[in-house]
Amino acid sequence: MIYVSCGKKEIQNVRGQVVHVDVHSDSINGDLVRSMILCANGDTLLFQMADARYINGVMFKGDSVSVDYIEGKNDTLRALILNVLHGGSHIIELGKPVSDTLAVAPPEPEPMKDANDSAHNHSQPQK
């Protein structure tokens, strides 16, 4: 879908899978999503995310998304609206455990302490 108006950039839409998300953290603004790389129709697209509004949450690597965007500067695209397309749920049925006993690893032996390292020198009984 393409929207056109006189003298303004065209708004375009693309669907694809997120390949990379660039997140910047600082103490003033918290986490900021700077850019995203999207694989769509065999092309790799770089989006600047400064002006983006998010629908259905923020995207992660591997998510399928739909992006409304306009052309940006230096071979980048400016994302305007990003919609995370959620896939179907996967149900995992847990069966009954094979055995009713819980296998536990044996405890590791405690390291020997040097007499000079300890403020209190306790003698250990010899076996």
56-103 residue pLDDT tens: 888 888 889 999 999 988 888 999 999 998 776 556 666 666 666 766
Domain assignment present for residue 61? The answer is yes
Domain assignment present for residue 100? The answer is no
Domain assignment present for residue 2? The answer is no
Residue 46 pairs with which residues in a beta bridge?
Answer: 37
- Say how many domains are in the chain: 1
* The pLDDT of residue 98: 63
Q: Which two tokens stand for residue 66?
A: 């739909």
Number of residues written out for the chain: 127
- What is the average pLDDT score of the chain? 79
Q: How confident is the model at residue 25 (pLDDT cuts 50, 70, 90)?
A: confident
Question: What range defines the domain where residue 28 resides?
Answer: 12-85
Domain assignment present for residue 93? The answer is no
Q: Output the pTM of the full model.
A: 0.59
- Mean pLDDT is lowest, of 1-5, 60-64, 69-73, 105-109, for 1-5
Buried b (16+ CB within 10 A) or exposed e, 75-92: eebbbbebbbeeeeeeee
Query: Taking 60 as the threshold, does the pLDDT of residue 120 lie above it?
Result: no
Whichever domain contains 75, its CATH number is 2.40.50.140
d(CA 45, CA 42): 10
Which runs of E-coded beta strand occur in the chain?
Answer: 12-26, 30-40, 43-48, 53-55, 64-71, 77-85
